[in-house]
Amino acid sequence: MLGADDGSTTGFQPLELHPGFSKDMFIYDTRDNYWHSVGQAPVSCAAIPMVEWKQRFVIPSGELRLGVRFPQVWAVVPEY
């Protein structure tokens, strides 16, 4: 999981000063039933569609903070 809204800024006002979403990245271990922290993304992001393509995870845009989208497309290569 790359970034997310952890709910800590719910109802934040004024919206234009919203601090942005978490940069934390996690991977879920199904055997241990546990989320492991694996570092931070270069920018905060939420509301992200992510698809697997050519052994990468492609992230076409996302939300930096409420109502502010970023125009980049990222490709993440997982390290297993």
Judge whether residue 54 has pLDDT over 70.
Answer: yes
Which has the higher per-residue pLDDT, 13 or 1? Answer: 13
Q: What does the pLDDT average to over 20-43?
A: 83
Percent of the chain with pLDDT over 70: 91
CA–CA separation, 63 and 43 (whole Å): 10
The answer to pTM > 0.85 is: no
Query: Residues 6 or more apart from 60 whose CB is under 8 A from it?
Result: 49, 73
- Average pLDDT on 62-78 reads 79
Residue 76 has pLDDT above 70, yes or no: yes
Instruction: Identify the band that residue 4 occupies on the pLDDT scale cut at 50, 70 and 90.
Output: low
